[in-house]
Chain A
């Protein structure tokens, strides 16, 4: 089932070096790129149906089309490498295993949107990745792929790596821009959207690492070759990070549209230790959980996930076996999002902390059914009332656990009711 498009060079020794990457095809699309008008590049990407790989799945070519023309302001490209969503570990492979694929993609995207200054916003905790990436950028500059004359053409492109300081919310595109500008990483209200007023108030495109890394293949082989993979509405391939209770956890490149359970069983070796499946988190911790019976007819694409009232997300699949304590899981989940709330909007700032304390109370076996109902109500009261979707990233999955595993919460409450009073 696995395919090798993004990961074609991952297995090579020293694949991160220019020498090896170039020998195996890196930068070979640049001649074709500069011979193609920028509009045609955008059209080709639109035609490929490439969707943003950061989680929302917005078509990349369409996003580029939102850039206003002739504003007299520079256009910026910000590459989102703040991969911080729990259970997501796909971009880090590209950064370490094939940084030149990313750089080539940046050149393609920058040329298409008319950008001369690109920022790669990289997660602060990615210390190895930032070193490898910077080394690759230095090599690309030395070899003339970046700088005043990209690949000998009259086109300047500078790429700057900006390290984050460890905030999940900076993966939100406008918080990312604030952070690059040197401010506290807090999402901006939209509108205006970054395509109109982004970095330093200039038109800005923000794309995920994997989105950008998909571009060389599309330009090289054409949109149709890309669409040969995946489904009609979710074309192409995706790096899936499969973790949790499976025999063979890891990162796998797969075309979209494969049956979820088949992937778990055949690619990742099935639920470990012969245990039963309890649930699957399909695309990073912020996506609502799927029960085994729901997972049975779910396929790995945006449409199927939406039909099951969850999201494709970042492709970080977490398999939960029968031993998982859902209430503990929910506590960990809320703990994370509470810790990462930027503290700007009232519902998220105050509400997530309240939810965390309620779950902890339930776990201490001091909770009542009122607490469970309150928890469920708070999900509704917080969600979508805020500037960004961080609060929803917490409340959507929590709501799914509360609805699908209510009996586990009730069991804790029942224990509380029968337990002797705490001294």
Chain B
């Protein structure tokens, strides 16, 4: 815990953390100092001049808050007339050459220029001379589209490419009001985090080709979530909306700040993985490849289990801890073999040491935590003897090529519970649709042993069963989610005394021993 110091804002005593700049320090106390160019992940640049504050008895009397460390006893002036005038004037300067095309701008609704105009300016334009004209809808690569006229040249995007990805594709060329962000000719953005510049841009200058013109942001419901694209478990905001007469649909993922996991950013692959939540979903159960009602499929599962002795249950490494535990308990009750074989989810060499990991699954650490066997040999040996394979959303063809898989599955019937349609969903004897990760609550453990709890974000018109529901339905019962969490808390000492509501927002760091193994 950092030391606390006391300073004064507008004459009122405020206790803040020491060692921070004024913007961050007083923001923690609920006081906003407007700023465009400063971003905590990118440091202070001091070019927008929006954060100029007065320092009483200070030398100099006017300082950029982003570059000024909070010091004990400092007397900060924020609501003095001359400071308000500066904020007003800087907003006027930002807006004189801005196209003010809010009605067709994707940023409208989450735009700093709009917000600050309402708060700090609010006057009609005094611009009676022609505006500066610059280039529009420039393709910067990686799905980033740039509008130079909307740009306030705060340089956040430039600094991101220099400091975070260290690829330096962007720069500001020219001087004076001709200054503009651009790429080198023929050298577009080329890094796996490029779309973060869209979030970083405080205005509508950087837009995502994917999200452009898709939805007004004020319609979007912003639900927190955890990206399931790899084992990092980056924190995201799931922006979704139910159009009239349509189903709830995700429009984009955005990074959500978590200093313990992903900081301020996510990778582009994870960001665009929202599409998989909308598309290619299995929505109806199938029996022998033909669509049937869910109840009929579950009844068929029941029959299947009645006449089967040897069962293998295969788990996806993307399932939540609760779902894995439900499967583990079911397998124990029924004497079934349990496997988490999923080598195909690993993509060696793909990780970059930053956010992107080799392991493209969200909860492999959870499989290990629950002591579930993930070895290829044991799975294949069990499969060879099994009469029935219950596949809990494991994309087996990622681990075993289809032509090798076919002979292995000969003589084994398959029940596939899956969130997504695939050839396997047609070839399986029974296929049951289940919810995907944006549609249920659960806990996952990331590659660094951090347990994170996420909530259901999307509510479909016709909700699909959670995997735990499906497993319970095999026994003709309903899943007891609270019970599952209590059982987890009993298994994992770090979770002792916790409920789903008390798991910290930044996640729970499991200790080394725990992360390695929990006894069965």
When distances are taken between beta carbons in the complex, the residues of chain A under 8 Å from B44 are 189
What residues on B are CB-neighbors of A357 within 8 Å?
Answer: 129-130
Check B126–A342 contact: CB distance below 8 A: no
* Contacts known (A339-B175, A340-B175, A357-B129); A346 close to B50, Cβ less than 8 A: yes
Instruction: Tell me which of B172, B174, B177 contacts A350 (CB under 8 A).
Output: B177
Q: A385-B49, A387-B47 are in contact. Are A361 and B128 (CB under 8 A)?
A: yes
Residues facing B in A248-284 (CB within 8 A) are none
A interface footprint on B157-178 (CB within 8 Å = 1, 0 otherwise): 0000000000000001011111
Is the Cβ of A385 less than 8 Å from the Cβ of B96?
A: no
Does A349 touch B at the CB level, under 8 Å? yes
Partner of A384 from B62, B85, B128 at Cβ < 8 Å: B62
Shortest beta-carbon distance from B438 to chain A in Å: 40
B126 touches A374 (CB 8 A): yes
Report yes or no: B48 in contact with A346, Cβ–Cβ below 8 A: yes
**Which one of A184, A342, A385 lies within 8 Å of B52 (CB-CB)?**
A385
Chain B residues near A184 (CB, 8 Å)? 172
Judging by beta carbons under 8 Å apart, are B90 and A341 in contact? no
Decide: B128 and A350 in contact? CB cutoff 8 A. no
Proximity bits, B90-115, A CB within 8 Å = 1, else 0: 10111011000000000000000000
B46 pairs with A350, CB closer than 8 A:
no
* CB nearest neighbor in A for B179: A343
A343-B153, A385-B89 are contacts. A354–B127 as well, Cβ < 8 Å?
A: yes
Which residues of the other chain, B, contact A167 by a CB distance below 8 angstroms? 175
Chain A residues near B152: list those with CB within 8 A. 346
Residue B176 contacts which of A352, A371, A381, A385 (CB distance < 8 angstroms)?
A: A352
Q: List residues of chain B with CB within 8 A of the CB of A386.
A: 49
Q: How far is the CA of A384 from the CA of B50 in the complex (A)?
A: 13
Whether a CB of chain B sits under 8 angstroms from the CB of A222 is no
Does any Cβ of B come within 8 Å of A358's Cβ? yes
Q: Contacts A358-B129, A381-B89: A349 and B177 contacting too (C-beta < 8 A)?
A: yes
Interface contact B49-A346, CB-CB below 8 Å: yes
Assess whether B64 is interfacial by the CB under 8 Å rule.
Answer: yes
In the assembled complex, how far is the CB of residue A336 from the closest CB belonging to chain B, in whole angstroms?
Answer: 11
The reply to whether B129 and A345 form a contact with Cβ atoms under 8 Å apart is no
CB–CB A343/B172 < 8 A: yes
The answer to whether A349 and B128 have CB atoms under 8 Å apart is no
Interface positions of A from 316 to 347, Cβ below 8 Å from B: 338-347
Q: How many A-B residue pairs have CB under 8 A?
A: 87
Whether A343 contacts B178 by the Cβ 8 Å rule is: yes
Contact of B90 among A344, A347, A352, A387 (CB under 8 A): A347
Shortest Cβ distance from residue A181 to the other chain B in the assembled complex, whole angstroms:
14
Q: Counting CB contacts under 8 A, is A236 at the interface? A: no
Q: Is the CB of A371 within 8 A of B97?
A: no
Of A184, A343, A352, A384, chain B has the most CB atoms within 10 Å of the CB of A343
Q: Does A244 contact B (CB under 8 A)?
A: no
Residue A292 interfacial (CB < 8 Å): no
Instruction: Assess the A350–B96 pair: CB atoms within 8 A.
Output: yes
Verify A347–B89 contact, CB threshold 8 A: yes
Chain B CB within 10 Å, residue with most, of A350, A374, A386, A387: A350
Residues of chain B lying within 8 A (CB to CB) of residue A384: 62
Residue of chain B at shortest CB distance from A371: B128
In-complex Cβ contact of B132 among A353, A358, A360, A387 (8 A): A353
Determine chain A's interface SS by DSSP, over half rule: helix
Complex Cα distance, B178 from A350, in Å, reads: 9
Please name the residue on chain A nearest to B48 by beta carbon. A346
Contact B176 A349 (CB under 8 A): yes
Report the bound CA distance from A341 to B94 in whole Å.
16
| In-complex Cβ contact of B179 among A349, A351, A382, A385 (8 A) | A349
Do B97 and A346 have beta carbons less than 8 Å apart? Answer: no
Q: Is B86 an interface residue (CB 8 A)?
A: yes
Residues of the B chain whose Cβ atoms lie less than 8 Å from the Cβ of A338: 176-177
Is the CB of B20 closer than 8 A to any CB of chain A? no
B481 interfacial contact with A, CB 8 Å: no
Contact status B174-A343, CB under 8 Å:
yes
The chain B residue sitting closest to A350, CB to CB, is B93
B67 beta carbon closer than 8 Å to chain A: yes
A345 and B130 in contact, given A350-B94, A381-B89, A385-B52 (Cβ under 8 angstroms): no
Contact partners of A344 in chain B: CB under 8 A: 47, 179
Contacts of B174 in A (CB 8 A): 343
Which residues, 75 to 97 on B, are CB-close (under 8 Å) to A? 85-86, 89-90, 92-94, 96-97
Say whether B129 contacts A361, CB under 8 Å. Answer: yes
Contact with A along B19-49 (1 / 0, CB 8 A): 0000000000000000000000000101111
> Would B177 and A343 count as touching, CB distance under 8 A?
yes
Contacts of A347 in B (CB 8 A): 49, 89-90, 93
B residues near A349, Cβ cutoff 8 Å: 93, 153, 176-177, 179
Alpha-carbon distance between A351 and B93 when the two chains are bound, in angstroms: 6
Whether A345 lies near B126 (C-beta < 8 A) is no
B85 / chain A contacts, CB cutoff of 8 Å: 381
A408 CB, min distance to chain B CBs, angstroms: 20
Residues of chain A with a CB closer than 8 A to B176's CB: 338-343, 349, 352-353
Chain A residue contacts of B132, Cβ below 8 A: 353
Min C-beta distance of A421 to chain B, whole Å = 16
CB under 8 Å from chain B, chain A span 58-80: none
Residues of B within 8 A of A343 (CB): 153, 172, 174-179
CB distance from A309 to the nearest CB of B (A): 20
A358 and B178 CA atoms in complex are apart in Å by 17
CB distance from A184 to the nearest CB of B (A): 7
**Chain A residues whose CB sits within 8 angstroms of the CB of B128 once the complex forms:** 361, 371
* Contact in complex: A346, B177 (CB < 8 Å): no
Q: Which residue of A lies closest to B180 (CB)?
A: A343
Contact A189 to B93, CB < 8 A, known contacts A343-B177, A357-B130? no
- How far, in whole Å, are A342 and B175 apart by their CA atoms in the complex? 5
Q: Which A residues are in CB contact (< 8 Å) with B96?
A: 350, 354
Contact A346 B47 (CB under 8 A): yes
The 8 closest A-B pairs by CB, nearest first: A343-B179, A357-B129, A353-B177, A350-B93, A341-B176, A381-B89, A189-B46, A343-B175
- Some 19 contacts from A to B, beta carbons below 8 A apart, are A169-B175, A184-B172, A339-B176, A343-B153, A343-B175, A347-B89, A347-B90, A349-B179, A350-B94, A352-B176, A353-B176, A354-B127, A357-B130, A358-B129, A361-B128, A385-B52, A385-B86, A385-B89, A386-B49
Give me the interface of B with A, judged by CB distance under 8 Å: 44, 46-50, 52, 62, 64, 67, 85-86, 89-90, 92-94, 96-97, 126-130, 132, 152-153, 172, 174-179
For the complex with contacts A349-B177, A381-B89, 15 further pairs of A-B residues with Cβ separation under 8 Å are A189-B44, A338-B176, A341-B177, A343-B179, A345-B48, A346-B47, A346-B90, A347-B93, A350-B93, A350-B94, A350-B177, A353-B97, A353-B132, A354-B96, A381-B85
